[in-house]
């Protein structure tokens, strides 16, 4: 009996002195509804984030330019501003850094400039004097479409550019608010499928292979204080990639895309899923964005792409 009593007391003592289980790191991630974040969508739904000690809330925004301000205000700790927004924010002194990559160009998913069904537009030169909708002025699609227009012999200053959120693009074409829009999947496929418009060219044709479309971004101050968290995020993303690339998981991957992009499941069932993921970011992945941002006057400086990557 004394042995049992002593054993019981030992169990009670261990239970009362055991350290509490460390809670998962809580993070808010602000993003736009694109498939580039597929690794994170899947990592969250498949328990990979939790496995690596991460608890990430997903905050969807229709305007990527809002993300930089949210990071500085600490209402989001991670975000997905486009590289051009990242460059502009840094020139304004916000000191943001890319901490992990997504997929790279050329992208598997379709994208392009879509003209309204009855517009009779056929190429970039036809856009002179026309109103073209882009998801965010100064964002990568805006910058790339201007580059595409310029590369095809038309001064992009002769196009009237308008900011139209992805979800509103189809209605903007139908109502003739704009003559054309520059879009990317999952929205591109929907607009083409319902015959609201037709493709007149690919703005992504001007991008060098290996360039990043978007990256996971944080303030440098937050990144410095959370090095282990960033390593955990990178490891989780690396683990999610093989899951996405396994055809056996296609149904669940598409379910995650539908959940976080707010796409109807029938649409998510047919869009192209990103495959070529590069969690580790290289300076070459950002060099094009520095060049084109300077060319279009978005930034005046000439930052070293390496300085934009953490660590």
Q: pLDDT tens, 242-277?
A: 999 999 999 999 999 999 999 888 888 888 899 899
Q: Quick one: residue 249, left, alpha or beta (phi over 0 = left, psi -120 to 50 = alpha)?
A: alpha
CA distances, 175 to each of 4, 168, 263 (Å):
81, 11, 22
Which range marks the domain in which residue 44 is found? 25-106+210-308
Residues 119 and 192 in one domain: yes
Q: What element of type H or E holds 76?
A: none
Residue 19 lies in a domain: no
Average pLDDT over residues 72-94: 95
Please give the model's pTM, rounded to 2 decimal places.
Answer: 0.82
Residues 219 and 295 in one domain: yes
- Spell out the long-range contacts of 298-307 with Cβ–Cβ below 8 A and sequence spacing 24 or more: 298/84, 298/87, 298/88, 298/138, 298/143, 299/87, 299/88, 299/91, 300/91, 301/91, 303/87, 303/90, 303/91
Q: To 10 degrees, the CA torsion angle through 138, 142, 144, 147?
A: -90
Choose the final residue of a domain: 165, 191, 206: 206
Residues 86 and 141 in one domain: no
Residues 98 and 123 in one domain: no
The residue that leads in pLDDT, 114 or 188, is: 114
Q: How many domains does the chain have?
A: 2
Task: Specify the pLDDT at position 149.
Answer: 97
Sign of torsion over alpha carbons 253, 254, 256, 261: positive
Tokens of 192: 């083409």
Closest to 73 in 3D by CA, of 87, 62, 53, 59: 59
Backbone angles phi, psi at 201, to 5 degrees: 155, 160
Residues 143 and 91 in one domain: no
Backbone angles phi, psi at 55, to 5 degrees: -130, 100
Task: Specify the pLDDT at position 98.
Answer: 98
Choose the final residue of a domain: 206, 241, 272: 206
In the structure, what pLDDT confidence band is assigned to residue 23 with cuts at 50, 70 and 90?
A: low
Residue 18 lies in a domain: no
The residue that leads in pLDDT, 75 or 194, is: 75
Tokens of 17: 């002195």
Q: To 10 degrees, the CA torsion angle through 294, 299, 300, 301?
A: -90
User: What is the CB neighbour count within 10 angstroms for residue 10?
Assistant: 10
Residues 218 and 200 in one domain: no
Tokens of 23: 């809670």
Residues 215 and 169 in one domain: no
Interhelix angle 83-91/284-295, nearest 10 degrees: 70
């Amino acid at each position: 009996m004394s042995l049992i009593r002593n054993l019981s007391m030992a169990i009670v003592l261990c239970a009362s002195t055991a350290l509490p289980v460390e809670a998962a790191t809580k993070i808010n991630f602000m993003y736009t509804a694109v498939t580039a974040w597929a690794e994170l969508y899947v990592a969250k739904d498949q328990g990979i984030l939790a496995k690596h000690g991460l608890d990430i809330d997903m905050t969807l925004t229709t305007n990527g330019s809002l993300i930089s301000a949210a990071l500085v205000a600490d209402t989001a700790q991670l975000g997905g501003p486009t590289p051009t927004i990242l460059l502009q924010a840094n020139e304004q002194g916000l000191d943001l850094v890319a901490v992990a990559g997504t997929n790279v160009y050329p992208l598997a998913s379709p994208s392009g400039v879509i003209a309204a069904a009855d517009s009779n537009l056929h190429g970039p030169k036809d856009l002179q004097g026309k109103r073209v909708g882009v998801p965010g002025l100064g964002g990568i699609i805006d910058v790339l479409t201007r580059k595409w227009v310029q590369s095809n012999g038309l001064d992009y200053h002769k196009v009237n550019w308008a900011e139209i959120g992805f979800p509103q693009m189809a209605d903007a074409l139908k109502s003739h608010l704009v003559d054309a829009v520059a879009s990317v999947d999952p929205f591109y496929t929907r607009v083409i499928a319902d015959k609201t418009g037709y493709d007149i060219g690919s703005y992504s044709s001007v991008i060098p292979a290996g360039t990043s479309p978007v990256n996971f971004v944080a303030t440098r101050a937050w990144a410095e204080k959370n090095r282990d968290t960033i390593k955990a995020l990178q490891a989780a993303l690396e683990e999610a990639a093989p899951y996405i690339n396994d055809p056996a998981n296609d149904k669940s991957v598409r379910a995650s895309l539908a959940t976080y992009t707010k796409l109807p499941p029938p649409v998510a069932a047919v869009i192209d899923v990103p495959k070529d993921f590069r969690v580790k970011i290289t300076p070459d992945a950002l060099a094009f964005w520095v060049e084109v941002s300077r060319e279009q006057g978005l930034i005046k400086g000439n930052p070293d792409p390496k300085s934009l990557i953490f660590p």
